[in-house]
Copies of this chain bind each other. A is one copy, B any other.
């Protein structure tokens, strides 16, 4: 019975793709035909907690939209230290853009820290999709613009805020994410050690 249901891809796909279409609608208006073309060109996929969507050294073949779950994007420095640069939850994107646009081996790793459902845009169909649906190119331009601004602001925060203020900013900006991830991963994201994050939190508890 379950197997049978899996043989009806369009119905299945049209339900799963809803979060993405809702998201796209905030930026551009697609016709029903355009939505159908889009649906036919993307890939739905589930990963289990711990699985890698992208591994350092592999060429990044997809830009991924997260339907459910949570991923961490990180790299390992020369000492093998893990540095998390992004958590992606529902309605966020993940990939190694550098690897994707140049089709060279990735510096970054993307690993699921929860069971995760994704919609993947394969590199082979991306240009075709832009040609067929110029509005999608506009959409991607806009979200990449926003991505650039967000990254720039993060850079600024790292320059100008103390570790404590970066933690408070994160807590305030993404109140739900803190509950979903281990503290040592948050410490890595904030650019500090887990011990120091622990110290910051106990200091904050004393303050009020």
Q: Does A160 contact B (CB under 8 A)?
A: yes
Contact of A149 among B101, B138, B158 (CB under 8 A): B101
Tell me the number of copies of this protein: 2
A23 lies within 8 A of chain B by Cβ: no
Interface assignment of A124: CB less than 8 Å from any CB of chain B: no
Q: For window 150-181 of chain A, which residues contact chain B by CB distance below 8 Å?
A: 151-156, 158-160
Q: How far in angstroms is the closest Cβ of chain B from A150?
A: 9
Say whether A98 contacts B141, CB under 8 Å: no
Residues of B within 8 A of A148 (CB): 97, 144, 147-148, 151
Q: Does A83 have its Cβ within 8 Å of any Cβ on chain B?
A: yes
Binding site for B on A (CB under 8 A): 75, 77-78, 81, 83, 85, 97-98, 101, 107, 130, 134, 137-138, 140-142, 144-149, 151-156, 158-160, 191
